[in-house]
Amino acid sequence: MRLSNIDAVAAHLTDGEVSRVAGRLMEARHRMTPATIRSVEPIFLKLPLERPILSPFGRLDARPNLLVLVRASDGAEGLGEIWANFPPWGCGERIAIVRNVIAPMLVGETLDDPRRLYGLMHRRLRLLANQWGAPGPVHQAVAGVDIALWDAHARRAGKPLAHLLRDDGAKPDRVEVYASGVAPPHVEQTIASARARGHTRFKIRVAFGEEKDRDTLAAARRAAPDAPIMADANQTMSRAYFRALLPALRDARLEFLEEPFPVDDTDAYREWPRDAGLPLAFGENAQGLASLDEVIALADVVQPDITKTGGVSEGLEIGRRAVAVGRKLCLHMFGGAVGLYASAHVTAAIAGAHWLEMDANPNPLLDLTLEQKPAVEDGALLLPSGDGLGVTLAPGAVERWAA
């Protein structure tokens, strides 16, 4: 077709039709001309907090954020996030893995199939992880790089990531979320603030002592009498503590109790009292498909964290396996905006996925690192409309917050 004829046809198309045609042309062009990976760069940010975050693990006075930036030979870029929440000094290993091992491995590889590259990273890092005794940091580094690869891949395809990955029946434009990290002594204040930002579901922290936990459960119910409420013990309960607190947990009408026991106490999870009337949730600290298959077998609510293990490549598989056997899928996320949006895209792509976790505390990682600010309406996080994750770093964020 001559150019004059193309112009004549284009004149009769709506803006939406022009956009769809342009997207298909871009996707076809990228399929015909695969790019290679030019660089894989870790970016470590640390943003101060106005109010410290308290958990059974300890105290956070600043929020660390470990990002990955992938650049391709055709100019495409992708952002990922590696788990860096706690301990706050734990990023050094992950940075070293990305910079010294993963980047040299991937530079020059064709950016054709992120799943292929995910498998390549794990195969080549398996023995190193065993020898080093560091499977956790390795899983987390690979997961964050995988997210960045998928972001770049979807951008090259001209599609939002959730649209590229979606199951039939999935709703790829918004994700139901719950506000997490509601902790004493600010329970009612935090819930009220989260409600004002559009949240309708809330998760509280427990295991600060039986009396304080009872007060926390009661305060949460006063603040949100009819809302779904969950509780997270962060692995810190003994079985005796759990039994003593069980009546109060039941009275609070919880949707689930998360990680009551240390996750390596597999007997405690296998012996969970199914007649307790209290759904069991865990999975954020499992590593790899085999471990998460065991979680799926034991949990009522499965909570993988794609910045800790699996990235997008295995995160989709884990989520679909959980939903297929009737488990509730609630991706764990208590980090930065890149990880939140990546988790939202994966959740939105899986038909039957349940709620996504979202930080209820004042979090500068959500407000200051990206141009796109997370927005919640009627308990649902709205996904950005752009290609890939649909996000870009805020101007000056790296220079201002680099650690």
Instruction: Give the pLDDT confidence of 8-58 residue by residue, as tens digits.
Output: 545 565 665 555 555 555 555 555 478 999 999 999 999 988 888 777 677
Instruction: Over range 239-245, report the average pLDDT.
Output: 96
> With 80 as the cut, is the pLDDT of residue 368 above it?
yes
Whether 26 and 155 have beta carbons less than 8 Å apart is answered as: no
Identify the CA nearest to 41 among candidates 91, 102, 90.
102
pLDDT tens digit string along 133-143? Answer: 889 999 999 99
Give the pLDDT of residue 340: 98
pLDDT of residue 20: 58
Are residues 67 and 41 in contact, defined by beta-carbon separation less than 8 angstroms? no
Q: Is-contact 191 223, C-beta < 8 A?
A: yes
Residue where the block lists tokens 């939140």 = 340
**Taking 50 as the threshold, does the pLDDT of residue 387 lie above it?**
yes
Res 16: pLDDT: 57
Structure tokens given for 339: 């990880």
Crossing angle of helices 311-324 and 288-298, rounded to 10°? 30
pTM listed for this prediction: 0.91
Query: Do the Cβ atoms of 181 and 215 come closer than 8 Å?
Result: no
pLDDT at 401: 92
pLDDT tens per residue across span 278-300: 999 999 999 999 999 999 999 99
* DSSP H/E element including 194: helix 187-196
Q: Which residue has the tokens 């929020």?
A: 63
Q: How confident is the model at residue 4 (pLDDT cuts 50, 70, 90)?
A: very low
Instruction: Give which of 27, 43, 291, 290 is closest to 145, Cα–Cα.
Output: 43
Q: Is-contact 140 65, C-beta < 8 A?
A: no
Residue 18: what pLDDT? 54
H or E element in which residue 46 lies: strand 37-55
pLDDT band (50, 70, 90) for residue 403:
confident
Q: What are phi and psi of 236, to 5 degrees?
A: -105, 0
Token pair 């979090």 is at which residue? 363
pLDDT in tens, 307-352: 999 999 999 999 999 999 999 999 999 999 999 999 999 999 999 9
Look up tokens 């709620």; give the residue: 355
pLDDT per residue over 86-111, tens digit each?
887 889 999 999 999 999 999 999 99
Looking at the predicted structure, is the pLDDT value of residue 254 above 80?
yes
HSE of 172, CA atoms in CB hemisphere, 13 A: 21
* Residue 21 confidence (pLDDT): 56
CB 311 within 8 A of CB 337: no
pLDDT at 171: 74
- CA 112 – CA 33 distance, rounded (Å): 10
Mean pLDDT of the chain: 92
Beta-carbon count within 10 A of 274 CB: 10
Q: Is the pLDDT of residue 84 over 70?
A: yes
Q: Are 104 and 125 in contact (CB under 8 A)?
A: no
Q: In the prediction, which pLDDT does 362 show?
A: 86
Residue-wise pLDDT for 352-367, tens only, equals 999 999 998 889 999 9
